[in-house]
Structure 1
């Protein structure tokens, strides 16, 4: 039987989601906990892979087991066993062919910026002065993203993907008080794509790049033309959507 698990994690102490040699990852911590609690070797498959230091307020993984489990009891035990920076929300049985990564129909990210020095947000957002940013200009540039599907310019080099095509359904900046958040949703994302987009939009906001130049960056399909990737600590995976029919109970 296959189960989906919904969770969140604070990424500061982890070298991303995916298991890495000689580095601690969220996947490794959870696999060890599940294997111990279920008394058998358990492998899990995540809905994606976040980079080192990136956070997730909603994430999913699936695992298989040849037994019916008490979902509520397992959730309680996992939350008691896992470190305080990983939280399990829900365990759900799904169809046997449901896949945490490939069954997802959309994903949403947020990139969070504090416009003032905030000692409580230092590990959770990028801190910049509002005097350095033209937010309206950044929003006008962000709208251009929905006119394209090829985002090779914002992809990590030497990646093994077969296509750089993504369909972006929303991309905008929102200010609330002294906090600035970039929202972006798409059917899929390339490695490092959101951080590269944010870093390039910040170049626009700092008037180091025009909107026309931002458009050219997309069209040239050349990562070296885009801005530097924004720091990982401000990035959150916030929503992963699946077809309702894959869930059983």
Structure 2
């Protein structure tokens, strides 16, 4: 009987400190390279993976999906396969689950929603190094949350995007944007159908300008209308950013 090709989704998580982002780089180590290397060793053939999106150097992912095509006969026991692959991967990359999908399923293009978190704290804490950004001054969280409401809806977010990116449109639909108080500081939560390069870090930088300086929440409307990256705030450090959730219409979210 002829062996068939099966497409699988892998749900992965990683601590991104040691990597130059998700995507394979010519002269630096990435999460995708480590994953592809592990799959090549385990399956004894080169495997190409496609991720739900790229994350920048130092950014973490609590949940990211990738797809791959392999011979159906090579995955006899998904649980054993996950265990074996995890054993080949470094401690800061983990495979959470494996899902068989149809051949047309696409980890990047089929995602309907993505969520991020940005963590800030105010007191020196060795356990938050590379995981949260320490600020000296405490911003006004009420003012930042009032400003975050202006992010909601379908808008052109060119002002928060890196220039010269190869995308067809800078229009995104944001469904949730809110700061949460924590014991150590604040976490910014944001969910949208898609994100532009550097978008979340630029949004956080702009909101912090409103929270730390004498700017009204409505200021962010002027920034958005300008479509000018120079009008928005400084891009905050990558090490405090987490991709937390990616949603697909055909995958049950267990989180």
Length-normalised TM-score, structure 2 = 0.93
> Secondary structure of the residue that 2:233 maps to in structure 1?
coil
Match runs of 1:39-118 below 5 Å: 39-68=44-73, 69=75, 70-118=77-125
User: Aligned to 1:123, what secondary structure does the other structure show?
Assistant: coil
Gaps of 5+ in 2: 1-5
RMSD: 1.5
Summarize deviations over 1:139-183 as a string: whole Å, max 9, x none.
000000014511000001110111001000000000022231000
CA distance in structure 2 between the partners assigned to 1:12 and 1:245 by the alignment: 28
Cα 1:246/1:111, change in 2 over 3 Å: closer
Shift of 1:116: 1.7
Which residue number corresponds to residue 126 of structure 1? 133
Number of the residue aligned with 2:27: 22
Note the C-alpha offset of 1:21.
1.2
Contact 2:120/2:185 (<8 A) preserved? yes
- Give the superposition deviation at 1:66: 2.4
1:190-229 per-residue CA deviation (whole Å, 9 max, x = no partner) reads: 0100000001111111015332322100100000110110
1:91-240 aligned at under 5 Å gives the runs 91-129=98-136, 131-240=137-246
Contact 1:133–1:205 (8 Å) recurs in 2: yes
Q: Which runs of 4+ in 1 moved over 3 A?
A: none
Q: Could you say what secondary structure the match of 1:120 adopts?
A: helix
Secondary structure of the residue aligned to 1:28 is helix
Contact persistence 1:115–1:180 (CA under 8 A): no
Q: Is the 8 A contact 1:14 1:52 kept in 2?
A: yes
Alignment CA distance shift 1:148-1:215 (3 Å):
farther
Count of aligned pairs between the two proteins = 246
Say whether the 8 Å CA contact 2:20–2:56 is kept in structure 1.
yes
